Structure 1
Amino acid sequence: MFTGEEDKTLPATAGMEAMAPRVVLFDFDGVLFQGDSFRQFIKERYARSPLRKLLALTALPWLLLVWPISWRLAVRTLVHVSLLGVGERRYAAEAQAFAAALVRRPRQFYRDGLQALRRHQAAGDRVIVVTGCERAVVQGILDQLGLEGVEVLASECRPGLLGMRVKFHNVGRRKLERLAAHGVAAWQLAYSDSLADIPMLKSAGEAVLVNGTPKTCKRLEKVLGRSVSRVEWF
């Protein structure tokens, strides 16, 4: 387990074959971005539109009904309300505009995380961002940051009769499904800040917990049955 200045160095992975590039996975929110990027995108859509706020208010009885059963369903409802009447082309344009504005704001990203990702690229590693954020949003942000050559496996929205709808939420074990569908069978290193990524971390040659508390680290190590590296990124 690493602490202090050592936390900002790239963790070493033993037993790697020099001839094959390492596969390195990065979660996005909480690892590269400080917060929940898609939630911020949706919040800003509501902030700009009193009509969307009113529509969300009319959906309140439904939200109160489903919240005890599935908070994810309630959140999905709020996402769908925020995207009512938004087609695929407009959605892509708004995601790009959000990304362009976001990267110009101070203290939105973990500088150490971005530097670590770039070092992995410079070392010839295959870098894949595996995230629960929606694809158009996270791809727009990475493009605006100038991070070329980074593969992205993310949640997706699809066009519907009333606007864009959630197609696939890339969280937990679903990240493994996405990786398998992408032809990735093994990875040597995985960075995450969340216990929700235990499936992805468990399959990694080396798991790295980003900005995790000692308690979270102990819980993760207990589940994985081995020690993990811990880094503090700013």
Structure 2
Amino acid sequence: MAPPAAASDDVPAPRVVLFDFDGVLLHGDAFYLFIRSRYARSWLRKLLVLPCLPWLLLQLPFSRRHAARTLVHAALFGTGEQRYQAQARAFATELVQHSRLFNRDALRQLRRHQQAGERVIVVTGCEQALVGGILEQLGLGDVELLASRLRATATGMRTGFHNIGANKLKALAGHGVRAWQVAYSDSLMDVPMLKPAAEPVLVNGTPKLCKKMDAALGRVVGRAEWR
């Protein structure tokens, strides 16, 4: 007679829940607000852009991303890594003081997932130091974070890994995450992240965007109206 099977001690892995940041937890784009503040506070940085204007005008009709990158590089010209980190943290503190910029319903939903014992990861195109500082100021410093990264050069901080679109899948794979159950986003750019989710959720989508997202995913996406 075979001995009785031992009871399994295996504990099921917690559900994985992904949140985009800009447009979901925050109304707007945090890094854009940071760069805009750099120009608003310095006439010198505005002057640095003047020689770039012909290039920007040529690039804008073809690639807004390249034009935006030029503006970022000018805004961070001469800024080393430690100085940038300090400035990003200071701006994060300043931003959180304006609580109306944050989506309270989304933050409550994130905390509900945490309280349920689920694994919450913020996966965002926002820059790592800035969004990390914001989450810390919001009392969410324990949330896992996958974000864009700048790189230090002799002329200042420049764009590095941009965590958008399919790059979010690379970041998740590099973090050891290959499956997730829920994903929240407000953008078609996140189709690669939403498609594998059992429960993809579009946040504050217009009827037109909802139709496009349904078509891109090949199914009806969940809707969340959060303020």
Q: Shared fold (TM-score greater than 0.5)? A: yes
- Structure showing greater radius of gyration is 2
Query: Within 1, Cα distance between the matches of 2:141 and 2:81?
Result: 24
* CA offset digits 1:163-208 (Å, max 9, x no partner): 0011111111111111111111000000000011011000111100
Structure 2, unaligned stretches of length 5 or more?
1-10
Question: Where does residue 19 of structure 1 map in the other structure?
Answer: 12
Query: Within 1, Cα distance between the matches of 2:211 and 2:64?
Result: 27
Q: Does 1:95 align with 2:74?
A: no
Question: Where does residue 80 of structure 1 map in the other structure?
Answer: 73
Question: Where does residue 185 of structure 1 map in the other structure?
Answer: 178
> One-letter code of the match for 1:172?
G
Query: Within 2, Cα distance between the matches of 1:112 and 1:42?
Result: 27
Q: What is the CA RMSD across the aligned residues, in angstroms? A: 1.0
Question: Where does residue 115 of structure 2 map in the other structure?
Answer: 122
Moved over 4 A (4+): none
Contact kept, 8 Å, 2:132 with 2:141, in 1: the verdict is: no
Question: Where does residue 6 of structure 2 map in the other structure?
Answer: none
> One-letter code of the match for 1:60?
L
- Tell me how far 1:130 sits from its aligned partner: 0.5
* SS of aligned partner of 1:95: helix
Structure 1, unaligned stretches of length 5 or more?
1-17
The counterpart of 1:210, out of the listed 162, 178, 203, is: 203
The two structures have a TM-score, normalised by structure 1, of 0.90
Contact kept, 8 Å, 2:27 with 2:101, in 1: the verdict is: yes
- Tell me how far 1:70 sits from its aligned partner: 2.1
How do 1:101-140 residues align onto structure 2 when only pairs under 5 Å count? 101-140=94-133
Query: Within 1, Cα distance between the matches of 2:54 and 2:169?
Result: 35
Aligned pairs, number: 217
